[in-house]
Structure 1
Amino acid sequence: MRGEAGLLADLKALGIPFTAYEHDAVFTVAESDAVNAAIPGAHTKNLFLKDNGGAYWLVTVPSVARVDLKALPPAIGSKRLSFGKAEDMARLLGIVPGSVTPLAAINAAPGSITVVIDASLARAAAVGVHPLRNTATFALAGGAILDLLRHWGHGPLIAAIPVQDNL
């Protein structure tokens, strides 16, 4: 596991600009709302999922999105999805619930997980994601996240993630 030190080294080596924001630990999107108010750019939530074929998925969407979990599998080319277990998250990504981030792919062997980024985030000038811990947020371009994923051997899937209508 390369961890945050490896992440910082890769950001530097690839010349990827980012802004780091330290903050209190946040475990839910609701808790992060106050923190996010001070951080410019798009904010995210992440779903660690497993399909009934045994494949793992890490789906990153805008924090305000209410993902339609029934419509998600065909949108990303998976089978029926359920939430992954914390122990699988730790084994594959080296992180714990509350710290889920597409940047955790630095710890994942290529092919062990499919990282899916919502198309709106992929195009965003600034996206806030955790740097493998929930006590900080790194703001970097959506394209830079894709570059990092490719650098680590993960071909990210960019998709229009289906959302539920707000009632």
Structure 2
Amino acid sequence: MTDMQPKTDKDLFQFLDGLGIAHSTKEHEPVFTVAESVALRDEIPGGHTKNLFVKDKKDNYFLMTVEEHATVDLKTIHGVIGAASRVSFGKPEKLMEYLGVIPGAVTAFGVINDVEGKVKIIIDADLMAYDTINGHPLRNDATTSIGSKDLLRFIEATGHEPLVLKVTS
């Protein structure tokens, strides 16, 4: 257990810059739901994300990043992602501990805070059809746009293996 402060959006941007990954961020009012964030679509092109932080009975944690309107069947997804049992949503405390974000700001970028590799990250195959993927930069009052292949490079650079799987119906 470390008492390290979660990384901030500035840390994230420096990390991306260090990898030579292009990214752009747009500030906006805090958004907590997909419905609230839809208003921003005209200003921010590309695939917009919804993130599900789940765990199985053996306390294995998974972050699934999918296209915002996609549906994930939580009753059957464990078979696809390699969970030990059916999954349930992870608690906000674990979300903060592992990914350094609050509910409503969950993002694939959160793996930058998972230094111990506790969370397996899954990117939905359908989301990868977009050239640009948008996610919260560790806070929900901004949206960061990044190339889809660059997102995978970022995830790998954090020591995680991004699993691109078809998790939506």
Matched residue, 1:34: 39
Is 1:138–2:144 an aligned residue pair? yes
> RMSD of the TM alignment (CA)?
1.1
2:81 aligns with one of 54, 76, 81: 76
* Superposition map of 1:1-167 within 5 A: 1-78=6-83, 79-163=85-169
Give yes or no for contact 1:127–1:139 (8 Å, CA) kept in 2.
yes
- The amino acid across from 1:13 in the alignment is G
User: Structure 1 runs of 4+ off > 4 angstroms?
Assistant: none
What's the TM-score, normalizing by structure 1? 0.93
Give yes or no for contact 1:116–1:158 (8 Å, CA) kept in 2.
yes
Distance 1:139 1:112 in 2: 25
Distance 1:29 1:87 in 2: 22
* Structure 1 residue 139: Cα displacement: 0.9
Distance 2:91 2:66 in 1: 20
Distance 1:41 1:76 in 2: 25
Unaligned runs of 5+ in 2: 1-5
Matched residues, number: 163
* Structure 1 residue 50: Cα displacement: 0.8
* Structure 1 residue 81: Cα displacement: 0.2
* Structure 1 residue 10: Cα displacement: 1.2
- The amino acid across from 2:18 in the alignment is A
* Structure 1 residue 68: Cα displacement: 1.1
* Structure 1 residue 136: Cα displacement: 0.4
Give yes or no for contact 2:124–2:168 (8 Å, CA) kept in 1.
no
SS at match of 2:70: coil
Distance 1:63 1:162 in 2: 11
Unaligned runs of 5+ in 1: none
Matched residue, 2:3: none
- The amino acid across from 2:160 in the alignment is H
Q: Percent identity?
A: 42
- The amino acid across from 1:52 in the alignment is K
* Structure 1 residue 109: Cα displacement: 2.0
